[in-house]
Structure 1
Amino acid sequence: MGYKGTPRTVKIQFAQGHEHHGAEARARRMSYGEWEDVVSSEDDNAMAEFGKRLVDWNLEDDDGQPIPATPEGMRKVDTGLLTALKTAWLQSIVGVHDADPLPQSSPSGEPSPVESIPTEAMSPSLAS
């Protein structure tokens, strides 16, 4: 039996505090060749490709009705949200999606304590 590779879909979620936190979508992955065609194209066909590969999402219209996860449904969604979803989808495919929070085990990133480094005045010949 051979290895089948990574999951066939990616789930897009935005971290708490993100402008679009709460929006979720799931879209099918693509092969490297397909990804390369999308990102190297002079046309911005990444949005169209995202629409073709969109599986589902939790988006609703102003009346609380579900918006279909289709290219037609995408026409009803704010452009900023669609751009964020498309960008997160592309980043997820190559493993750099930054919408998810860091794991709780991640270090806080606080600077390390500065140790005192002895200094001395420069010699007059180096100072000039």
Structure 2
Amino acid sequence: MRRNRGEKYKANGTMTYTEDLGEDIQHMVRTTYSATGSSQFRSHPYTVQKSSVCKFFQTYYRKYGQPWVMGHTDFPIIPEEGICPLPKGTYYIKDMEFDESNLPDHAPRGLWKLDQIFEKNGKVVGGIAMYARVSDKI
């Protein structure tokens, strides 16, 4: 994340998938938060239950994630019918601004951690951790 004076925070990063992601890869998202901003994270019910990675990208990502990253990534655009398998490769996110209007008013303030977890044959084979701070506007 970075921010220039007077601008919103912007996300930048890369992710590498070393193999095609098909129906044999399971995906889930766990969310935890820390009201004090320390490393004492507590589980939160905002999660995405385990499902095939193809189903995740066709449903949750397409509806909630894809609109945020459009124009800021080279990740494949997921059509309504989905893409399966997702092709291996290195993808980027560049200068993506977060639209805080999408956050519910009742979202707890503090430091949030979102863990994307990928499993194959019941074993964790990869993941992505993202952190974000939720606070009241000043």
TM-score range, shorter chain: under 0.3
Determine which structure has greater relative contact order: mean sequence separation of CA pairs < 8 Å that are 6+ residues apart, divided by chain length: 2
